[in-house]
Amino acid sequence: MDIRNSLAIAAYGQTGLRPQGQMLADPSSGQMQAGQIFANAVERFGATLAEGEAQSIAAMTTGADPHALVTALAQTELAVETAVTVRDRVVEAYQEILRMPV
């Protein structure tokens, strides 16, 4: 789950800057806003965690497919690492803003 590209594209689209020869998409044309992108990412994060938990429970109780369990746990681990990275970058950006002279 990599949300960096989606957020960067959305933020770039909102700045009003555009590469030469390209038009900005109209916000009313259905283009998702940064808040919607973030909400979707959080929703997918929760779904990934729920899937990993469900696979773990199934493996312990019914002896489900071990390959599916390993795959679900790897996806969950990647999702958590991504969330931690995003959190660290947000904290870093906030600290940088606090260091700016007013």
Whole-number Cα distances in Å, 9 to 14, 27, 33, 48? 9, 13, 10, 23
Q: Which of 8, 10, 16 is nearest to 33 (CA)?
A: 10
- State the Rg of the chain over Cα: 19
Helix (H) or strand (E) segment spanning residue 83: helix 66-99
**Would you say residue 2 has pLDDT above 90?**
no
pLDDT digits (tens, 9 = 90+) for 46-91: 999 998 888 888 888 888 788 888 888 899 999 999 999 999 999 9
